[in-house]
Structure 1
Amino acid sequence: MTILVTGATGNIGRHVIHQLVARNADVRALVRDPAKANFPESVTVAQGDLLDVDALRNAMSDVSTLFLLNGVVADEFTQALIVLNVAREARIKRLVYLSVIHSDVYVNVPHFAGKFGVERMIEQMGFDATILRPAYFIQNDITIKDVISGYGVYPMPIGSRGLAMIDSADIGEIAALELLRRAQAIDPLPTTRLNLVGPDTLTGEDIAAIWSEVLGREISYGGGDVEAFEQNLRTFMPSWMAYDMRLMSERFISDGMRPEDGDVERLTNLLGRRLRSYRDFAVGISKSA
């Protein structure tokens, strides 16, 4: 009953691995560079990537359950479809897929639309699947902590509709629980979707207020200048990706990223504890600085 984890060395995948190992699962990790695979000894490492068909076939040998995570890249949709087809060829039926919340709403945002397409293929190909739809990752804001502390500004253009930000560790634990639920089920389980959200739905002003409290000085919200946001992103990522992020931010501002009724309670019950909050994150970051 081996569980294969893709994206295993990333921010989410490493939490999935940790949680599965803690529950004594038989885990295999697909990685590009085994030298970077700092996993417990019980984890089997398979080298390859999501476009290497031979490597995928090798990694999926004798696997019962698959965790599919592929990043925001230009060929993300192709990667996912290759993996799904090789998985079907390997007779893997049980799957947990990391999509994104509102993938069917943010229809003009490339990586959202791509993930919604993958969701549809999972259903049409007959997988026994849990589709996880996380909101904004709290840990995305690690990249701007120096701006917050150095300039007194929270710069992310998230607007006033509110985002239900979730901690990456919570995503990893929920994914592990769903993988085990499906791997251990005697009979096939119906395909389900879970919105992964944090305990609070926060606006830009809300987050600035949290940082003001945690740091003990005034932090302001930088507003919704998505053009400036795109131009800044272009200094360290490809132009297509920066534009994708701009389109996403425009939808943050116009639509928000809000939970549905019952989402928070459902996840709290699944974890058996409270969800980690943005304030928890901010306090942890300030103490480690």
Structure 2
Amino acid sequence: MKILVTGATGTVGGHVARQLSGSGHQLVALVRDPSKADLPTDVTVVEGDLTDASAVGRALEGADRAFLNMADDNGAVFAEAAAKAGLGHAVLLSSFTAVTELPSGPANIVTARHQAGEQALTQAGVPSTFLRAAGFDYNILMWIAGAADGVVRAPNADVKLPVVDPADIAAASVAVLTAADPKPGVYSITGPQSLSVRDQIAIINETLNRSYSVREISQAEAATAAFPQGTPDFVATSVLETMGPGAAVLAPSGDVQTLTGEAARPFHAWVADNAEAFV
């Protein structure tokens, strides 16, 4: 079976490619810059951009299934090309925001992006599985980056979210991509427990023998601290809303175990695996 992986130089897509490596399937990765593609040797690299119909068409040639991590067009080009190529099944890295009402509503660009991606595949008639992921474990690094003095400054420090290990998102993706007969469906991909920033810092301190403290800051302060100067307000607001009280309605799900047969990994396991990120 031939499987296309997009976003293979990113976190989740990279995990997908590595987890598929050695499986006996023919693997192809569509990447913008092959010189940056540090991928297993059994992955064939096709140069191109997901917004380039010609490149997407080349990458999809003969493909049976594909993992889609959307590009700037929110998956529209891929969906059209996949339908034309007769792709058997697509796995879309979507988000809980596609079905969660955040304060900005449809003006939230994260919500709009994932709703558009799901809609593009549905309207194109491509058999698809939507993996609506929670916030990633590594989002805590947004606030750790400013903690050189040992103080983690973050907004919504006590809002609890079921953050997920990107490797679990990849494992769920691989389970669908390699299933004998995958059926279109929707899954909520979360970690096993809802944790606040304060909870996560306590786990980091315990796991890595650190002594971080937490100080809550305002949304405005967070936007200044975590985003490059000149970032439009609506972009910062959209991202911060995915970590705020409106996102706390998302409950931990057992869908990782449903798809993979293994329970979602706890936050402390991700911390231990990524200890170098906290130096």
TM-score (norm 1): 0.85
Aligned counterpart, 1:13: 13
Percent identity reads 26
- Which residue is equivalent to 2:239? 248
Check whether the contact 1:226–1:250 (CA below 8 A) recurs between aligned residues: no
Is 1:40 paired with 2:40?
Answer: yes
- Of 177, 181, 184 in structure 2, the residue corresponding to residue 191 of structure 1 is 184
CA RMSD of aligned residues (A): 2.4
Pairing of 1:71-150 with structure 2 (within 5 A): 76=72, 78-105=73-100, 106=102, 107=105, 108-148=107-147, 150=148
Structure 1 residue 153, shift from structure 2 partner: 2.5
Question: Residue 215 and residue 44 in structure 1: after superposition, are their counterparts in 2 closer, same or farther (change >3 A)?
Answer: closer
TM-score (norm 2): 0.87
Q: Secondary structure at the match of 1:140?
A: helix
User: 1:5 deviation in Å?
Assistant: 0.8
Match for residue 27 of structure 1? 27
Task: List per-residue Cα deviations over 1:178-197 (Å, max 9, x = no partner).
Answer: 1112xx32xxx542111110
AA of the residue aligned to 2:226: L
Shift in CA distance, 42/285, structure 1 to aligned 2, threshold 3 Å: closer
Task: Return the alpha-carbon distance in structure 2 between the equivalents of residues 230 and 169 of structure 1.
Answer: 28
Task: Rate the CA distance shift 1:250–1:44 in 2: closer, same or farther, 3 A.
Answer: closer
Equivalent residues, number: 274
**Residue 202 of structure 1 aligns with which residue?**
195
Instruction: Report the CA distance shift for 1:234/1:287 in structure 2 as closer, same or farther (over 3 A).
Output: closer
The one-letter code sitting in structure 2 at the alignment partner of 1:8 is A
Q: Judging changes above 3 Å, is the alpha-carbon distance between structure 1 residues 67 and 284 closer, same or farther for their aligned structure 2 residues?
A: closer
Gaps of 5+ in 2: none
User: Given that residues 159 and 253 in structure 1 are in contact (C-alpha distance below 8 angstroms), is that contact kept between their aligned partners in structure 2?
Assistant: no
Which whole-Å CA distance do the structure 1 matches of 2:11 and 2:59 have between them? 21
| Offset of residue 277 of structure 1 | 1.8
Q: Tell whether the 8 Å contact from 1:230 to 1:243 is kept in structure 2 after alignment.
A: no
